[in-house]
Amino acid sequence: MAKRHGIDLGKMRELHERERADFLARRPRARALAGQSAGHLLFGVPLHWMDDWPTPSPLFVAEAQGAQLTDVDGHRYVDFCLGDTGAMFGHSPAPVAAAIARESARGLTAMLPGEDALWVAEALAQRFGLPVWQFALSASDANRFAIRWARAATGRDQILVFNGCYHGTVDDVFVDLEEGQAKPRASLLGQVYPLTEHTRVVEFNDLAALERALSDGRVACVLAEPAMTNIGMVLPDPDYWQQAQAIIRRHGSLLLLDETHTISCGPGGFTALHGLRPDLLVLGKPLAGGLPAAAYGFSAELAARAQQAKRDAPAGHSGIGTTLSANRLSCAAMRANLAEVMTDDAYQIMFERAAQLERGLLELFVRFDLPWCVTRLGARCEFQFVPRPPRNGSEAAAGQDAELEQSIHLYLLNRGLLITPFHNMLLLSPHTTAQDVDRLLAVFDQWLRAVRM
Ligand code: PMP
């Protein structure tokens, strides 16, 4: 019998077919909506990624609150996906919902600043140690704009990213290492510019490669998640960032840290937890509790250089920003979220739940003698089909298995447990209970019993 990663493929495939049939049988309303949507929405969904879940037809949501989500057929789920981090502190946090209700009647957008924007910038400065901020509507945009400022301020054309990274839909960063060569990501649609002309790529945790790639002094910025989270999880070696920061500085490049996911590490992200000193820092997704909002911060020195670059440029459009960026409503939501939701107390609960999940998963893998590992970044856990935590994007990619993932995810989903598609990432919100975690572990145990060799 064929076996992969310790799993009996025959048993798993049979089980998966039953789970697909079961999903459809118990969701008449979702099936009816899918039938109607097919004619009006591309792939039958409003964003084509929503078609990438492991379900045979889309799961339609009726409502979500805290760590719970209800579908249109009345099934309830404990949500460990949490909008892939957008709802990391729970769905519709009460203080954010109240701020939105209050402010939405007082003007939504004016292309002018309000007091909330200043409050938010001061709060972010305190948390991340970067004094100057700008806002955007998504982490993708914030990364795109931060790269622009970095190139403008340094007068350099190149950027450097790590193999296997994801920083949103930013064309510049879709460059992979294939047999040592930089190549544009093969799956991109409609992308026609030669990306490798201005983007370099090296493996994470490889200081010598970083040094070589920066040594000609042409790299404006190194864009990185402080720990990789989008190709499975890859943690930095214990002294990696200390040394990498010194290398980056020595070659006159800037460090742009994308904390969109690593904000799971604490109120000041990985940066504050480990005392990193980036020149630029990006936040998005959960920053306004799920309302579209993102922010990027500058060191004082870089802010001065960026402002000078703008003054020195011919008058006209900078190519940076969007009309609704920093709108009144998102600023009010960010303020409420930072003040009352993304608190030390909330993180404490999230860490406890994540530690419980990490322990439970490890016990499970030992008990079933599986060569799988678990990596945790504060309130974010990832299990991977490799015996040891990967050290770079290539090793992490080797531990991915879409078929196995889909089987696990659908089995859990059919039993009221939602986890993020594309990889095995689980998020723990302040509303997730210890019983929720126990239930996930019990159902995972059942799946393993069903498919283990
Ligand atoms: N940065 C990182 C690290 C991300 O994981 C993502 C999304 N997964 C983004 C940026 C982009 O976020 P958005 O899609 O909200 O623009």
Could you read off the pLDDT of 80-98 as tens digits, one per residue? 999 999 999 999 999 999 9
Q: How sure is the predictor about 399, in pLDDT bands with cuts at 50, 70 and 90?
A: confident
Query: Cβ(167)–Cβ(173) under 8 Å?
Result: yes
Question: Does residue 271 have its Cβ closer than 6 Å to ligand 1?
Answer: no
Question: Does residue 262 have its Cβ closer than 6 Å to ligand 1?
Answer: no
Closest residue by CA, ligand 1 atom 7? 168
Give the distance (Å) from ligand 1 centre to CA of residue 139.
Answer: 5
pLDDT in tens, 294-335: 999 999 999 999 999 999 999 999 999 999 999 999 999 999
In the chain, list all ranges with CATH 3.40.640.10: 94-340
Query: Going by C-beta distance under 8 Å and a sequence separation of 6 or more, which residues neighbour residue 276?
Result: 226, 241, 245, 255, 257, 270
Q: What is the pTM of this model?
A: 0.98
Complex ipTM value? 0.99
Question: Does residue 259 have its Cβ closer than 6 Å to ligand 1?
Answer: no
Kindly indicate whether the domain formed by 94-340 is annotated with CATH number 3.40.50.300.
no
Give the distance (Å) from ligand 1 centre to CA of residue 167.
Answer: 5
DSSP assignment of 196-265 equals GGTEEEE-TT-HHHHHHHHTTS-EEEEEE-SSB-SSS-BPPPTTHHHHHHHHHHHTT-EEEEE-TTGGGG
Q: By C-alpha distance, which of 54, 29, 59 is closest to 44?
A: 59
**162 pairs with which residues across the strands?**
202
In the chain, list all ranges with CATH 3.90.1150.10: 3-79+344-451
Identify which of 88, 167, 228 to mutate to test ligand 1's pocket (most ligand atoms within 8 A of the CB): 167
Q: What's the CATH code, domain 3-79+344-451?
A: 3.90.1150.10
Closest residue by CA, ligand 1 atom 8? 168
State mean pLDDT over 344-352.
Answer: 98
Centre a 10 Å sphere on the Cβ of residue 329 and count the other Cβ atoms it contains. Answer: 21
